[in-house]
Amino acid sequence: MVSLVIGTQWGDEGKGKIVDLLSKETDFVVRFHGGNNAGHSIIVDGKKYAFHLIPSGILHPQAIGVIANGVILDLEVLVSEIQMLANEQIDLSKKLIISPRCHLILPYHKALDLAYENARGKEKLGTTGRGIGPALADKVSYNGIRIYELLDWKNFEEKFKFQAKIKNEIIKTFNVKPIEISKELKKLKSLREIILPFIKDTYEILQKAVTEKKNILLEGAHGVMLDIDFSPYPYSTGSNVITGAVNTGTGIAIKSIEQVWGVVKAYTSRVGGGPIPTEIFDKTAEQIREVGHEYGTTTGRPRRIGWLDLEATKFACQISDITDLAITKIDILSGLKKIKICMGYKLNGKSISYSSCGYNELAKLTPVYMELPGWNEDITKVREFKHLPKTCQDYIKFIEKFLGVKISIVSVGPAREEYIKL
Ligand code: GDP
Ligand code: IMO
Ligand code: MG
């Protein structure tokens, strides 16, 4: 069975937790797009893990982690994650494979990302600063360097020097310190030694796994509202986030995917710039941010907070052909007297859909809200739907009815066991 997990909002919906939860009997857990701009946190046996590149199901003993061709990766981050797991006595030598087709995020990409952001000043986009945009720009302009080149160090060295010299000229125009080419090469050479044994043809391995009907879980990163094509560009991330990215990012045919999980956080959060139609700035936002620990897993930035936006989420469900929903962080809403939920948008008195909006429209429109009563009880220990407070049940059922997609998991806490299966 091939399943996919997709974030339906602006990222940080709790995908990592859901992937870990679903990986119990999974043979392969696969990252297929994005890079280490992703930050997926999971809590297992009281210990917190934050993964940026290594698939979140890796802690299950049988699960093989796959970093497929669609991922762009920073060797330093990858090696630090491998070492972090080694310190936990988790040996990845037979548990992780990386495609030679993955493009590398190199030091000059990070320098360029930050230089562009600084140059934008007040208009900055709020990227994660991980070099994502510049690395993907290099990929499509044939200036990228893939893991493949690491197989032949001389080749890599040549390509790196060529690109780094050009990039340094650009970096200097921003009045930013250029990268030190020989120092960076030395570092990359030692990282290469650690990575080489993991490089395998992930395409072939995954095709065989599909044919043999193995369980494959595809781990989406980011959220549909950040998709490079279907977000309010340029307030986007550099990759496609929707289901279609699986085919280009792994080689697996879309028709092989039997189940698409949409992860929906019970409210909205976002890091970085760009409009959020349902954003709130009052005490409720502060309460949700503090109780929900809404600070970025990757950058530690405070996340912006809003009410659940069902207009946007409905779009995400439609475009990604979502079959099952996992609602997360519903426990964080405990204690709110009233909970608002956005059911549509109005602009100049007329209804407008999410897909018809660019960033200008999203910033100006008025959300149409429904207000539902809240609940006071701590629900983190609840394991059966019928034991949830009635108003909480109603909130969940309202979401399910509006989106027309069945809710199969309700997550009531960050730990692996804190969930209700429906
Ligand atoms: P991801 O990027 O979608 O994987 O999400 P992040 O890991 O960046 O952010 C989600 C945060 O919420 C993490 O700190 C999780 O441990 C936590 N989390 C996930 N699900 C739940 C939940 O149901 N309740 C609570 N309280 N926390 C959750
Ligand atoms: P996970 O997988 C939240 C956002 C950044 C920024 C924009 C562009 O943890 O849900 P980038 O560095 O990608 O060029 O930044 O995209 N962004 C995310 N926000 N969670 C993520 O991933 C994100 N990945 C990218 O904050 O607004
Ligand atoms: Mg995250």
How do the domains of the chain map onto residue ranges? 2-85+203-421, 103-197
Pocket test for ligand 1, best of 4, 13, 41 (most atoms within 8 A of CB): 41
Read off the pLDDT of each residue in 65-94 and give the average, rounded to a whole number.
97
Tens-place pLDDT, residues 327-339: 999 999 999 999 9
| Nearest CA among 8, 10, 3, 14 for reference residue 63 | 3
Closest ligand 1 atom to Cα of 292: 26
User: Which residues, including other chains, have CB under 8 Å from residue 347's CB and lie 6 or more apart?
Assistant: 357, 361, 364, 365, 366
Annotated catalytic residue within 33, 40, 52, 103: 40
For position 256, what pLDDT does the model report?
Answer: 97
Residue 298 has pLDDT above 90, yes or no: no
Separation of alpha carbons 330 and 412, rounded Å:
6
Separation of alpha carbons 407 and 422, rounded Å:
7
For position 296, what pLDDT does the model report?
Answer: 85
Q: Whose CA is nearest to atom 25 of ligand 1?
A: 413
For position 89, what pLDDT does the model report?
Answer: 93
Pocket test for ligand 1, best of 15, 287, 329 (most atoms within 8 A of CB): 329
pLDDT band at 303 (very low <50, low <70, confident <90, very high): very high
Q: Which CATH number fits domain 103-197: 3.20.20.70, 1.10.3720.10, 1.10.300.10, 3.40.1440.60?
A: 1.10.300.10
3 state DSSP class of 144 = coil
Contact 278, 268 (CB under 8 A): yes
Residue 386 has pLDDT above 80, yes or no: yes
Encoded amino acid at 196, one letter: L
Same fold, 2-85+203-421 and 103-197: no
Tens-place pLDDT, residues 240-271: 999 999 999 999 999 999 999 999 999 999 99
For position 297, what pLDDT does the model report?
Answer: 75
Residue 343 has pLDDT above 80, yes or no: yes
Write down the pTM of the prediction: 0.97
For position 146, what pLDDT does the model report?
Answer: 98
Read off the pLDDT of each residue in 196-211 and give the average, rounded to a whole number.
98
Q: What's the farthest any 2 CA atoms get from each other in the chain?
A: 66
Ligand 1 within 6 A of CB of 331: yes
For position 301, what pLDDT does the model report?
Answer: 87
Read off the pLDDT of each residue in 141-146 and give the average, rounded to a whole number.
98
For position 158, what pLDDT does the model report?
Answer: 98
pLDDT band at 357 (very low <50, low <70, confident <90, very high): very high
pLDDT band at 346 (very low <50, low <70, confident <90, very high): very high
Residue 234 has pLDDT above 80, yes or no: yes
Ligand 1 within 6 A of CB of 215: no
For position 351, what pLDDT does the model report?
Answer: 98
- Superfamily, domain 2-85+203-421: Adenylosuccinate Synthetase, subunit A, domain 3 (3.90.170.10)
Read off the pLDDT of each residue in 148-166 and give the average, rounded to a whole number.
98
Q: How far is the CA of 389 from the centre of ligand 1 (A)?
A: 22
Q: Report the interhelical angle of 181-195 vs 75-87 (nearest 10°).
A: 50
Read off the pLDDT of each residue in 28-56 and give the average, rounded to a whole number.
97
